[in-house]
Structure 1
Amino acid sequence: MIAQSDKSGDGFSRRRFLANTSAFGVASLLAVPRPAAAEPPPETTRVRLTQDPAICLAPQYLAEELLRLEGFSEVEYVKVPTTAEFTNVLATGAADIKMTGVFDILPVLDAEQSVVVLAGIHLGCYELFGNDRIHAIRELRRKTVAVSGLGAGDHLFIATMLAYVGVDPGREVNWAKTNTFAESMRAFTEGTADAFLAFPPQPQELRAKKIGHVIIDTALDRPWAQYFCCVVAANRRFVAKYPVATKRALRAFMKAADVCAREPERAARFLVAKGYEPRYAMALDALQKLPYNRWRDANPEDTLRFYALRLHEVGMIKSTPQKLITQGTDWRFLN
């Protein structure tokens, strides 16, 4: 399901976008000189991202210096305390642009909130862990699965996996709502849940403690390894009002992803130095595992279509995949 798109109707090409990103680097981390200003400056010098509790979102943090190179003098990270608010901060306008999980954004698009997807950024951060009684996704039938909330991203992702192998997620699985990803992991480690969906640094912590085993690794196992798990999305009003700023901000995210792919050791040190993850080994393991350079060739539209179709089939979203793509995406800054 890999597709390349070189040129859009307005004449902006992915090739040109790639060429422009090649000129950038995280200044304080890689000591890359400031690029020449070859494009109009951003219409605003302020941009707000989010500080999320997930080190797989490393490009969002490394983007800080790159955003300054792109002309943003005010780069703010809004704290997001709960999973329920991950994407709501975009819809409400509390943040302008951020990385977010595909399954966090799909319900927002389905509700026709003021959010638009701009690009895919990486895949593979989620791993479905099970106990000794679970060795395949089908074996979750009539078992207990811990999720942060019904309708939350982890619930929807697991539901998609179940539906894909013929298990009815609405009737054949016992969902244990825990309110947070941390509590889902606690339920799994304490034995009150048979499975849960982990994301960095949770998989690294479980492997270090030799707890459970991986049922599905979305970085390796098909079809999940074919599709983005995380995308870059933005507030629709911000995109409409500040198109140049949007393009420059998106480029900073993508270049930051390239840094994670090319020099994970330096990126891990950056995360530790900034206090996003105190354990260098955990950060490095997560960064080395994830294919951060796949944004260059994978097609985000294929991702949205695949997952939206699964959720639509089991009644978890009302909109058709094509409606979500038509109304909730804007590829002109990348394609």
Structure 2
Amino acid sequence: IVGLPESLHAEPLETTTVRLPRWVGGSYCWAGAYIAGELMRAEGFTDVRYVEADRSVDQSEWIARGETDFSVNFPPNQIASIDAGVPIKVLTGLHSGCLELIAKESIRSVTDLRGKRVGVDGFNNSRHMWLTLMSAYVGLDPVNDIQWVLTKDVKPTELFIQGKIDAFLGTPPQPQELRAKKIGHT
């Protein structure tokens, strides 16, 4: 790396402004967007903006509405947006390892979710889509084989500890908190 030019781009950029998504209160997985901003500045972007748009709609809509130029999103959300006609292009996927399926001890695999109460914080959102894909992949019918429990107004860890749900897709620090209490497993 020693001796490389400060910027590797060969010709001037056509545009020097880029709008990236900002998610206040987002988890550590948003660090990539902030690092990308710094890397873009190093490559000649002089105006890197972070925009927080309407959180009630998928970030693909932020792009379609002209609010941002890129998004940080789950591939299932991007696929659903493309299916719905949102004019986006996917450059790469994200979130390969920050989600953990947390379950009661009697549940040893995704197929064991048949007939179980699985908590989700909304329908057709990223967690619900991931769980739907996972269960369909192993031969379950996500609509009929799983009892979906909406956890929107309460933390899924609370419902899990209370025995009101048998499993949920967790993000840090949820799995770590439950492991510390020796409750459930991944």
Query: Helix, strand or coil: the match of 2:172?
Result: coil
User: Normalized against structure 1, the TM-score is what?
Assistant: 0.49
Q: Where in structure 2 are the equivalents of 1:51-70 lying within 5 Å?
A: 51-52=22-23, 53-70=26-43
Residue aligning to 2:19: 48
The offset of 1:128, in angstroms, is: 0.7
Q: Which amino acid aligns with 2:164?
A: T
CA distance in 1: counterparts of 2:46 and 2:125, whole angstroms: 34
Q: 1:187 aligns with which of 122, 145, 159?
A: 159
Q: Does 1:203 align with 2:175?
A: yes
Q: Where in structure 2 are the equivalents of 1:1-335 lying within 5 Å?
A: 35-36=6-7, 38-52=9-23, 53-79=26-52, 82=55, 84-120=57-93, 123-179=96-152, 183-214=155-186
Query: Helix, strand or coil: the match of 2:14?
Result: coil
Q: What percentage of aligned pairs have identical amino acids?
A: 38
Query: Helix, strand or coil: the match of 1:76?
Result: strand
CA distance in 2: counterparts of 1:46 and 1:208, whole angstroms: 45
The offset of 1:101, in angstroms, is: 0.8
Give CA deviations for 1:80-121 in whole Å, capped at 9, x if unaligned: 674743433223221111221112211101112021101235
Give CA deviations for 1:221-257 in whole Å, capped at 9, x if unaligned: xxxxxxxxxxxxxxxxxxxxxxxxxxxxxxxxxxxxx
Question: In 2, are the aligned partners of 1:55 and 1:201 still within 8 Å (CA)?
Answer: no
Unaligned runs of 5+ residues in structure 1 are: 1-21, 24-32, 215-335
CA distance in 1: counterparts of 2:9 and 2:88, whole angstroms: 29
CA distance in 2: counterparts of 1:87 and 1:209, whole angstroms: 38
Could you say what the CA RMSD is over the residues aligned between the two structures, in angstroms?
2.7
| Cα pair distance change 1:129/1:87, threshold 3 Å | farther
Unaligned runs of 5+ residues in structure 2 are: none
| Cα pair distance change 1:78/1:125, threshold 3 Å | same
Question: In 1, are the aligned partners of 2:101 and 2:170 still within 8 Å (CA)?
Answer: yes
| Cα pair distance change 1:190/1:106, threshold 3 Å | farther
Residue aligning to 1:289: none
CA distance in 2: counterparts of 1:195 and 1:137, whole angstroms: 10
Q: Which amino acid aligns with 1:205?
A: E
Give CA deviations for 1:5-30 in whole Å, capped at 9, x if unaligned: xxxxxxxxxxxxxxxxx79xxxxxxx
| Cα pair distance change 1:201/1:64, threshold 3 Å | farther
CA distance in 2: counterparts of 1:166 and 1:36, whole angstroms: 50
User: Normalized against structure 2, the TM-score is what?
Assistant: 0.82
Query: Helix, strand or coil: the match of 2:72?
Result: strand
| Cα pair distance change 1:36/1:143, threshold 3 Å | closer
Q: Which has the higher contact order (CA 8 A, sep 6+)?
A: 1
Q: Which amino acid aligns with 2:10?
A: E
